[in-house]
Amino acid sequence: MTRIRELDALRGFAVCGIMLVNTWQHTEGPKNEWWVETFLQGRFYPIFSLLFGISFALVLESASRWVLLRRLLWLLVFGLIQRTWYPGEVLTYYAVFGIGVLLPVSFLSGGWPILVLGVAALAWGVWVGGGILIIPGLFLIGMALMELRPGRRWLLPGLVVSAAVSAVLTWIYPMTGQWWIYVTAGLAGAAAYSLLVLWARPRWLEPMGKMALTNYVSGTVVIALTAPMRWPVLAVAGATLVAQLLFSWWWLSRFRYGPLEWVWRMLTWWKRVENRPILRS
């Protein structure tokens, strides 16, 4: 599977945002960080879900559907283990929706039919309440985008439009109280953030994205341990993200895969995968 560095950076960006929002959600006591609710809440899991669909299509280029099924089943195991300390984990949903949606739809040919199906599924998910119900549609849209490969010329126009839509809907929502408007504002914000990162190409986020599973799981461990202590959200999330970024840079300067990514790969292929230090000239 060929890695796309811009997607690694975007995945790293999403991991950082998820850590910040999850810390805010699980902190004891009043949640008065209005800027999290306004600018961050509901903006990062959609990015992560879209990227999961893209990654599925990328893996499918070089692996069979049986391999992908094993990959998803082991992800389900990871999620069930993580649920023992973090009930809000998302890995089990990703695994179940991957098996129930991505695998069957992968038999369709062409990106446009998958895109239409994904947009319809996303619209249904938004209308019936959002949450985990938007994941299948985002999976399919990501898979379709990997097939269609839109060019970089769409980044800036898309950024302007999605940012404007997000701002308008975020402003309208308190006046209407309509939940679908709130969810749509979050999706438009996620699109704006995604297009901004893809345009800017922040390479310093790539290690975070390459070790997304390791960083996501370790972040929830930190949240579970610190939530009852009522520490400031920014202090917990900021310290964790700095530590994860430094560790990711250090680890990937010596090894090909992150710790959990390496275990996941070996379980998927059911054989030992070399993760030896990279030789330097």
What is the tens place of the pLDDT at every residue in 212-224?
Answer: 999 999 999 999 9
138, 161 contact by CB (below 8 A)? no
Q: What pLDDT was estimated at residue 192?
A: 98
Cα separation, 99 vs 75, whole angstroms: 11
For the beta carbon of residue 107, count every other beta carbon within 10 angstroms.
Answer: 7
The answer, as to whether pTM is greater than 0.95, is no
Q: Note the pLDDT tens digit of each residue in 151-205.
A: 899 999 999 999 999 999 999 999 999 999 999 999 999 999 999 999 999 999 9
- Measured CA to CA in angstroms, residue 164 lies from 40, 154, 171, 173 at distances of 16, 15, 11, 14
What distance in Å separates the CA atoms of residue 83 and residue 99, rounded to the nearest whole number? 19
